[in-house]
Amino acid sequence: MQASKLIKSLRFKKIVPKNFEDFSVSLVTQDTREVTLGSIFIAIKGAKVDGHKLVHEAIEKGAAMIIAQEELPAIAVPVVYVQNTNKAMAILSSFFYETSSQALRVIGVTGTNGKTTVTHIIEAIFRNLGEKTGLIGTMYRKIDTEVLKTKNTTPDIITLQRTLNKMVEKGVSTVAMEVSSIALIQGRVWGVDFDVAVFTNLTQDHLDYHKTMANYAHAKSLLFSQLGNRYTHSGDPKVAVLNIDDPIGEQFEADTAAEILTYGIKKEAMIKAANIEIHGEGTSFDLVVFGEIFHLDVKMVGLFNVYNILAAFSAAYACGVDPADIIAALEQFPGVRGRLQLVTSASKVSAIVDYSHTPDGLLNALETINDFAQGKVFCVVGCGGDRDKLKRPKMAKIAVEHSDYPIFTSDNPRSENPQTIIDEMLVGVPEMLEIPTFVDRREAINFAVAMAKPTDIVLIAGKGHEDYQIIGDTKHHFDDVEEAKKALDLKEQGD
């Protein structure tokens, strides 16, 4: 695409110099590390780095045009001044990648917990229909069978548009993507044409970033206001899928002009679950779809997973998929890696690795395990460094109140002192209780497994699929499932 054509998409701008020699744009990027000959570099004022200070580096690497929001000293290439480079980035990347999201069915999922799980279930439903699917979220970006690494749950808008574009090229038709609250505030999905937006739930997380729960809820609401009321490329109406049991779900009804599809268990919903029976190997329940009843036996356990299944079912139903086809996929779905993932052993002690890193997530995981545990429940848990500090005493209290043996440890301490994080967890626990604490997560897991007796369960919470521990700026290899297996093997050898 020619530069002159591309920057036409920015209406309010000043170009210096006014007349420039046109060129074919090789890449639009906000990152100097990606710049190649013929790129347009967009200077973003980030939390750590100001892209305006990196303009010379970008030009040295071949940038042929700069988009800026702050006055730059005279430079060798044309500069397009705009009011907000973040917005310009959204507009330019959408045009450069030819508004790929309009050629795809895009299902966005937001909420504190359950996004990764729900997007994986949605992906499985459409894949089961024989479609090529896309997935964007915490664990990876998936373009049909190709798996790409990811830094954020919701990537920056350029990476996102690039990924969507590649999906179109590869023949993908439906994309399930996690949309985090931070991404919504930062405009990482500006310009993305969602067809369906799903809300899972809202409980405490990320208050380090949003400061108040009201701000956090507002951030989530942006997905629903952004959904709009236009008809999709296929002529289907846009739909907001809302968990009606969560009071915030009800609030979001007023934030969108799209059609509403509600799901829930407690309140009167369009799509409901009833007669729920949870057992160690799975869950059975009746799915009530506008009054019509279907019986389901799924492999996932826990009431919260019934909510996740309802959310995914509703999203597919909103796209017009036949309930029988959705149910066929739901009954086969094996669960997601690192979400209540069972690690068994001959010693009959089991470990469960789960990504519960919020108070509500931890409570749900423990309540679910308590429902089917025959022996005692151990809970190895830590709290992330450089993340919401208010979660720490709350998660500690939940571990103490809902498990028989809580053990506190580290979970990605990042730039913080791990012992300080543990001390801040201990604030939530009555002083007379002696909680074993281990800064070294491996020691904590080994201790719990060594103490456990046959039929006991050791929940290892907070890191799920993560295969690293971030200490300072360094990512060390660390995998809870691997560690649990090693500890269980060691226990068997010792017995």
Name which of 18, 37, 20 is nearest 29 in CA terms.
37
Q: Give the other-Cβ count within 10 Å of 78's Cβ.
A: 20
Q: Does 116 bind Mg ion (CB under 5 A)?
A: yes
| Among ligand API, ligand UAG, Mg ion, none, residue 183 binds (CB under 5-8 Å by kind) | ligand UAG
Closest CB to ligand UAG among residues 85, 283? 85
The total number of residues written for the chain in this structure: 495
Q: Does 199 bind ligand ATP (CB under 6 A)?
A: no
> For the window 349-378, what string marks contact with ligand ATP as x by the rule CB under 6 A?
-----xxx---xx--xx-------------
| Among ligand API, ligand ATP, Mg ion, none, residue 201 binds (CB under 5-8 Å by kind) | ligand ATP
Shortest Å, Cβ 216 to Mg ion: 16
Q: Does 115 bind Mg ion (CB under 5 A)?
A: yes
Q: Does 387 bind ligand ATP (CB under 6 A)?
A: no
Residue nearest to ligand API (CB): 384
**116 marked as binding residue:** yes
Parallel/antiparallel/unpaired status of strands 39-42 and 350-354 = unpaired
Closest CB to ligand API among residues 246, 466? 466
Closest CB to ligand ATP among residues 3, 309? 309
Could you give the CA distance from residue 466 to residue 444 in angstroms, rounded to a whole number?
Answer: 17
> In the window 120-159, what residues touch ligand ATP (CB under 6 A)?
138, 153
Name which of 98, 176, 191 is nearest 134 in CA terms.
176
Shortest Å, Cβ 120 to ligand API: 16
DSSP annotation string for 263-283: EESSS--SEEEEEEEEETTEE
**153 marked as binding residue:** yes
Q: Does 110 bind Mg ion (CB under 5 A)?
A: no
Residues 6+ apart with CB under 8 A from 299: 281, 282, 331, 332, 333, 334, 335
Q: Which stretch binds ligand ATP (CB under 6 A): 211-219, 264-272, 348-356, 438-446?
A: 348-356
DSSP 8-state secondary structure symbol assigned to residue 60: H
**180 marked as binding residue:** yes
Closest CB to ligand UAG among residues 219, 327? 219
Could you give the CA distance from residue 272 to residue 289 in angstroms, rounded to a whole number?
Answer: 7
Could you give the CA distance from residue 135 to residue 320 in angstroms, rounded to a whole number?
Answer: 20
| Phi and psi angles of residue 8, each rounded to the nearest 5 degrees, phi first | -60, -25
**370 marked as binding residue:** no
Could you give the CA distance from residue 279 to residue 301 in angstroms, rounded to a whole number?
Answer: 7
DSSP 8-state secondary structure symbol assigned to residue 18: S
Is the separation of the CB atoms in 436 and 380 below 8 Å? no
- What residues form the annotated binding site? 32, 111-117, 152-154, 180, 186, 188, 387, 411-414, 462, 466
Binding residues for ligand ATP (CB under 6 A): 113-117, 138, 153, 178, 200-201, 304, 307-308, 339, 354-356, 360-361, 364-365, 464
